[in-house]
Amino acid sequence: MNLSGNAVIEIINFYKLDPKKDIIVIYDDMDLPFGDIRIREKGSSGGHNGIKSIISHIGEEFIRIKCGIGAKEKDAIEHVLGEFNQTEQKNLDEILENIDNCIIEMLNVQNLDRIMQKYNKKKEKLK
């Protein structure tokens, strides 16, 4: 059971935030290739239990960044919580820098559509 929504609603209530514009949720997505990111303003949980929990507390309208971890080669829990393979580890710094740049742009630029166009692109296959 994932209770991420409990923490998110506590933060929203304590700081009196508007989930539609003041919250960015970053999470893993097995349906995206490793290193790809997708930004969304709203939507369903897509089967992700943490997002399902958050939606149950604040609704579907909040900004999210889905970070691709690739298709599972083993048990889903083991895949999500496991170690990165050698190729993934080699590319991790560049991927994290891309996510970091995306977040900085989201905080400084008010045009989310433009940011989504820039970052919601398929990346080339990892080497």
Read off the pLDDT band of 1 (50, 70, 90).
low
Q: Is 46 left (phi over 0), alpha (psi -120 to 50) or beta?
A: left
Q: What residues does 65 pair with on adjacent strands?
A: 26, 39
- Answer yes or no: pTM beyond 0.85: yes
Cα dist from 28 to 11, 82, 114, 119, whole Å:
21, 13, 23, 16
Domains in the chain with CATH codes: 3-120 (3.40.50.1470)
Q: Which amino acid is at 93?
A: D
Position of tokens 């290739």?
33
Span 23-72, pLDDT tens digits: 999 999 999 999 999 999 999 999 999 999 999 999 999 999 999 998 87
According to DSSP, residue 102 is labeled: H
